[in-house]
Structure formats: structure tokens, C-alpha cells
Copies of this chain bind each other. A is one copy, B any other.
Amino acid sequence: MVFKKTAILGVGLLGASMAFAMKKKGLSKTISGFGRSEGNLRRALEKGIIDSYSLDAREAVKDADLVVLSTPVGAFLETAQIIKDAVGKDSIQTDVGSVKGALVYELESVLPRFVGAHPISGGERSGADNATDGLFEGARCIITGTDFTDPLALKKIEGLWRALGTKVELMDPDLHDRIYAYVSHLPHVLAYSLVNTLDTTDSRQIRFAGQGFRDTTRIALSSPELWRDICGLNRQNLLDSIKAFRQELEKIEELLLKNDLDGIEAEFTRARSLRKSIS
């Protein structure tokens, strides 16, 4: 299956990498880009990632049979409203956002052939300059069909993400958000909070950090704007996950206060064994 024209709305790391991979694999005859920064769009054009661009989303989606929402996730709904009358009847729409849940239901009420997708890849880098055609290769991609999802659109989007090299998994949008609160959104909040903790003593002491600290806080290099949006859109699940985490942390705190080192070792052993299951 080859698309005639793909419109990438937001040519950042994910959008540009998707365009890059689609070009390389011949999945779209032509690709247009839309974004806020003309400099970024021009560089994507020069790199051959996109064939044209516009600063007007309605212009970018004209005649596109595939539209990809890949702006920061907080702008999806507004972008959907802007393009809804400009997308053609044969066009299908998808996204690459880290939040699904209620957002998917809202998006499909605006764009009737919308199918939510969340490729589990990316990183703390951003922008078209960091795009690679292999970003999705071997990654998991969650596709969140609902009772309202157009079956043919769902099939096409599944096929697209398989063709991009991802392992596709279908999941309810609400379950997606509960799971990703714990395995992704909470870790980001913790990483940002850990770095800020150093600010409460002498922040220059950060230079003594070794590889452990660096790895643990790598995701604190991620875009604050993007993660602000994600926190806002998955607020309740995130609050639940923070509460669950606080209880685990308080368990360690209490064991420390009681100097119960055996208890601490048991908690660490439990964590290590679960972590080993994905290493």
C-alpha cells in the first residue's frame, strides 16, 4: 500500500523520522510538511525528507490521503479543528502522540477517519535535524482503535506501522494512558524532580554525578513543552502513579528510619527481579 500524498503536521523528531522512513521505503509518492518554524521546514526539504512545505496546515493537507499529527501533543486538537474541512473524504488521519485516552475520542469526533498511534521511540533530542529513517525499526507501536474507528482506516494504519518496522499492538486508548502513566510519564516527572532536588542544596554538586545519575536523569533533557502537554492530558493517571510511587518511596523511608536493612534489601531485590524481566 502506497499513499499518494502524506501530510506531516509538525516536522519534529518523530514527524521528520516518519517522513524519512516513508520516503526510504517508498510508502508515499509525495510528502508535504507543516510546522511553526520555516527554518526547520526548509532544512527538512533540503535533506529530502519532505517534498514541499507550508506554514498553513490546511494547505499542507490538501489532497493528502494520509495526514499525520506530529506536533507537540498539546496542539493536536487545535490542529485537527483547523484542518477538518480541508481533509478529503478519502484521507485517513493518524498521530504519533504519547497520550491517547480522551484525546483519541475527541480527535475522532473532529476527524472521522482518525486512528490513534503511539510509536514507542523518540528520545530527548528533538527537531528534524535529529531525524533518522530507522527511528521506528523494531520499536513497539500501540494502535488505539475504538468502537468508532473506521475499520478500513484502522487496517491501513496498522499496515503503515508494520511497514515502518514497528511491532504493532492494539489497545484501548484508556488502558494505554493508564499503562504509559506508569512506564513513561511518571519516570519523566521523577527524572525532572530528581534534578531539581540538587537545586535544593548546592547545584554545582551535579558535577560529581556518575553514569548512574546520568542515565537516571537522561529523560530530564526532554522538551519541557512536550512533557507539560503530556502531564496535562494524562493528569489523573499521572496523579495516581505519583501516589503509588510515593507509597513505595515512603516504604523505603520507613525502613531506613527503623534501620531495617533486611527489609530494604528485600525491597531492592523485588525491584531488581522485575527490572531484570526486561533487560
Chain A interface (Cβ < 8 Å from any Cβ of B): 120-123, 139-140, 142, 178-180, 182-184, 186-201, 203, 205-222, 224-225, 227-229, 231-232, 235, 238-239, 241-242, 244-249, 251-253, 256-257, 259, 261-262, 264-272, 274-279
Contacts and interface: CB of A to CB of B under 8 A. Distances in A.
7 contacts: A182-B198, A199-B270, A200-B248, A206-B274, A206-B275, A220-B272, A227-B268
Closest 6 CB pairs of A and B: A224-B268, A228-B265, A195-B271, A192-B271, A120-B210, A193-B248
B200 A244 contact: yes
A216 B216 contact: yes
Given A187-B213, A216-B219, A235-B256, 5 more contacts: A140-B208, A189-B249, A193-B251, A216-B216, A220-B275
A193 B245 contact: yes
Q: What does DSSP make chain A's interface, helix, strand, loop or mixed?
A: helix
A156 B170 CA distance: 62
Contacts of A259: 232, 235
Contacts of A252: 189, 192-193, 242
Nearest to A234: B256
A160 to B, nearest CB: 20
A194 B190 contact: yes
B209 A184 contact: yes
A244 B142 CA distance: 36
A222 to B, nearest CB: 7
Given A192-B268, A228-B265, A235-B256, A182 B201 contact: yes
A221 B270 contact: no
Contacts of A200: 244, 247-248
A87 B239 CA distance: 57
A44 to B, nearest CB: 24
Contacts of A182: 197-198, 201, 205
